[in-house]
Amino acid sequence: MRLAAFCLLFSLPLTKSLSQEAGGSAAAVINPGISWSIGNKPLEFGQHLRAVTEITGAPLSKDLVLGCGKDGLLIYVCTGKDDCHVPVCSKRAKDVKIQQFDFATGTRKDIESVDAATGYFKRQSKMLAVLAVRGDADMNAAVLLDNGAGVHLGPAMKRVLEGQYCFRLTTLPAGSSATTRNFTLNWDRGVESEGIVSLPGLKPGIYSVEKGTPGNEASCSFDADALPAWVLVVPDAQFAKVDADWRSYSAKLNEIEDSGASPSVMATLRRAALSYLADSLVGR
């Protein structure tokens, strides 16, 4: 199956950290989920919430993701037969399944130094909703090494079938000021499993990457409904640590996915994790 997505525009500014909000905020709504509200008003992407706020979910409400500062990201699913009620960033509530994805790892202890919600909103200015599961030919979120040989695209190609492809790499946030790099790759794991591509002058950071089908005269055809993968390009000197953190995060994310989290939640969590790592790069 192909992966499709739709985005709803959100016009409020999303670049402030939680501590910068007037009066202080306890959380930011990273994914408003399904059927979650405050006082009968549906939650909105990017909305900032105070600690005294109580969120209500109808029976079977799901996919709510809150950015909760040093506690990382909290995911909520209402499991009862009646409405459920959750205080903002609570880790326990009646008839509510709550999962936590924090940013502490064996090599990373300064988890309060970077605001995961702020980093995500800098790059994702529209609500993300995934409408289908990923197929075997889709690219995946990944941390990519950029060394003297080039950018190692292989980690983002785990599900991609071998063959000739063209790609579009776009700086984030997307928009009128974004820049793109186009390139081709003959993907053959038996010949070169790292998928090394020469992209001189590419700066470290997060990019969206789209895979297309080469056409005549260097043209490239992209699926307009496919959701681009996010990748974090990291220089050689910092790669080992960032890659170790990403592997640790991926293990946690896989546990959340195996527990039944939706594709929309998983795409959101992976993008937030890459944003966190990008904003903690030295010299970014």
pLDDT at 135: 53
- Residue scoring higher pLDDT (4 or 68): 68
Q: How far apart are CA 24 and CA 18, in angstroms?
A: 7
Enumerate the β-bridge partners of residue 27. 49
Q: Which of 117, 96, 145 is nearest to 20 (CA)?
A: 117
pLDDT at 43: 97
Summarised one tens digit per residue, pLDDT across range 203-224 is: 999 999 999 999 887 789 988 8
- Residue scoring higher pLDDT (185 or 138): 185
Q: Percent of the chain beyond pLDDT 90?
A: 64
Q: Please give the model's pTM, rounded to 2 decimal places.
A: 0.85
**Helical segments of 86-214, H only:** 116-123
Summarised one tens digit per residue, pLDDT across range 244-264 is: 999 999 999 999 999 999 999
Looking only at the bridges linking them, the beta strands covering 54-67 and 84-87 are antiparallel
Asked if residue 20 has pLDDT above 50, the reply is no
Asked if residue 15 has pLDDT above 50, the reply is no
Q: Which of 146, 141, 88, 144 is nearest to 117 (CA)?
A: 88
Number of alpha helices (DSSP H) and beta strands (DSSP E) in the chain:
3, 17
pLDDT at 21: 37
Average pLDDT over residues 161-167: 93
Q: Confidence class of residue 132 from pLDDT cuts 50, 70 and 90?
A: low
**Residue spans per domain, the chain:** 12-131+248-279, 142-241
Summarised one tens digit per residue, pLDDT across range 80-125 is: 999 999 999 999 999 999 999 988 875 655 555 557 788 899 999 8
Q: Which of 108, 167, 141 is nearest to 233 (CA)?
A: 141
Who contacts 17 (Cβ-Cβ below 8 Å, separation ≥6)? Answer: 115, 117, 118
Sign of CA dihedral 50, 54, 58, 63: positive
CATH number of the domain at 142-241, please? 2.60.40
Average pLDDT over residues 181-197: 92
pLDDT at 103: 87
pLDDT at 175: 74
Q: How far apart are CA 80 and CA 139, in angstroms?
A: 36
pLDDT at 9: 30
pLDDT at 227: 86
pLDDT at 170: 94
Asked if residue 16 has pLDDT above 80, the reply is no
Q: How far apart are CA 261 and CA 63, in angstroms?
A: 8
